[in-house]
């Protein structure tokens, strides 16, 4: 009985902690991008894609919390939307890596990798 109550309360609060930590990462990435714009020698293009992926993650977490606390229903936001968000995030991560690999290969090998 106590164990089940603990697990239920932990699952409710874990989603809120997840959003809080995601917002901290969002803020830190925003500061990194703003700092990188001041210094022109720094290559920050991949960080834009990571920023977009974290932004999508924050939106997904807010929708998850709203559905968990019954503010939104599955009719308004269907379950497959989470899969679309995750696909967008993975695509952004992969593209971010390709951009970084291309930059490194252009800078050090003087040719394009992809």
- Burial string for 40-58 (b: 16+ CB within 10 Å, else e) reads eeeeeebbebbbbbbbbbb
| pLDDT classification of 106: cutoffs 50, 70, 90 | confident
8-state DSSP, 2: H
pLDDT of 50: 94
Average pLDDT over residues 50-60: 94
Whether the per-residue pLDDT at 82 is higher than 70: the answer is: yes
pTM: 0.80
């Amino acid at each position: 009985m106590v164990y089940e109550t603990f697990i239920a309360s932990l699952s409710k609060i874990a989603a809120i902690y997840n959003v809080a930590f995601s917002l901290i990462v969002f803020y830190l990435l925003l500061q990194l991008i703003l700092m990188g714009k001041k210094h022109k020698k720094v290559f920050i293009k991949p960080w834009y894609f990571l920023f977009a992926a974290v932004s999508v993650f924050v939106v997904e977490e807010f929708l998850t919390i709203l559905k968990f606390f019954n503010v939104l229903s599955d009719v308004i936001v269907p379950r497959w939307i989470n899969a679309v968000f995750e696909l967008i995030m993975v695509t952004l991560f992969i593209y971010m890596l390709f951009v970084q690999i291309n930059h490194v290969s252009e800078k050090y090998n003087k040719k394009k990798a992809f």
